[in-house]
Amino acid sequence: MKKQSKKALIIIGLTLALQGCIFVAGAAAGAAAIAIVYDHRTIQKVLEDTEVANKISDKIRKIPALRNESHIEVTVFNHIVLLTGQTPNLAWKQQAEEITKTVSGVTRVYNQITIEGPTSSLTHTSDAWITTKIKGEMLATENLKSSSIKVVTENGVVYLMGIVNTQQANVAVDIARQVSGVQKVVKIFQYTKKPQK
């Protein structure tokens, strides 16, 4: 009973933090606060990742087709870049990847952009709820350093990034798979050799 109450409180809290006009700012501020406490990266690395993500996004937005006819999201963790979203043209997908590779500090790019028109705002809302639900379940799971895991949901596909051991990776994947609306879970983890304490 206590565990269920804890999960409910976490999910309600995350939902409230992600509502209204403070969606982006609130989510970013909350994630940063948690990351400083539990994240395996240093604060400097967190800031570097944020800077890299902003530079990539700015460059992508300068291309009219990528800005106006595509929906592209950039996520960076430990200098590894995940590109998600949709574009109707394969050449534009490749262009987004090439732009990403020109940014200093990028060590690897996972280009998961699909070739189709941008998804609807209803899908974006559903994706945000899935992410919130997964993070809530992770935060309520003992011995899982969920703040070291980034959860990105795009059109029902969940991407998990972060620095974890194999056991924690398996727990995180199991949690994500059980959330309603999840179509597939993709692991983009960096693995540690020793169990995290």
Q: What is the pLDDT of residues 7-60, one digit of tens each?
A: 555 554 544 444 433 333 333 333 332 333 345 667 888 899 999 999 999 999
pLDDT of residue 8: 53
Assess if residue 197 is contained within a domain. no
Domain boundary among 60, 94, 115: 115
Q: Are residues 105 and 124 in the same domain?
A: no
Identify whether 162 is part of a domain.
yes
* pLDDT value, residue 96: 98
Q: Which residues of the chain have pLDDT under 50?
A: 1, 12, 14-38
Q: From the CB of residue 180, how many other CB atoms can be counted at a distance below 10 Å?
A: 8
Q: Is the Cβ–Cβ distance between 52 and 78 less than 8 Å?
A: no
What is the per-residue pLDDT for 40? Answer: 62
Q: Are residues 111 and 165 in the same domain?
A: no
Structural domains in the chain (count)? 2
Give the 3-state secondary structure percentages of the chain, helix then strand then coil, rounded to 5.
Answer: 55, 20, 25
| 95 and 63 belong to one structural domain | yes
Looking at residue 132, what is its pLDDT?
94
Residue 166: inside a domain: yes
pLDDT at residue 50 in the model: 94
DSSP 88-133: S-HHHHHHHHHHHHTSTT--EEEE--EESPPPPHHHHHHHHHHHHH
What is the per-residue pLDDT for 143? 82
pLDDT at 98: 98
Is 132 in the same domain as 176?
yes
| Domain annotation covers residue 74 | yes
Please report, for the domain that includes residue 104, its CATH number: 3.30.1340
- Among 100, 115, 130, the domain boundary falls at 115
- Assigned domain for 6 exists: yes
Domain range for 69 is 43-115
Q: Are 79 and 158 in contact (CB under 8 A)?
A: no
- Whether 28 and 68 share a structural domain: no
> Is 102 a domain residue?
yes
Same domain, 95 and 187: no
Maximum pairwise Cα distance, the chain: 52
The tokens for 47 are 């800031």
Kindly state whether residues 184 and 125 are assigned to the same domain. yes
Same-domain status, 30 and 47: no
Position 107 scores a pLDDT of 96
Domain boundary among the residues 60, 84, 115 is at: 115
The verdict on residue 196 lying in a domain is no
Residue with tokens 């705002």: 121
Based on the domain organization, do 30 and 55 belong to the same domain?
Answer: no
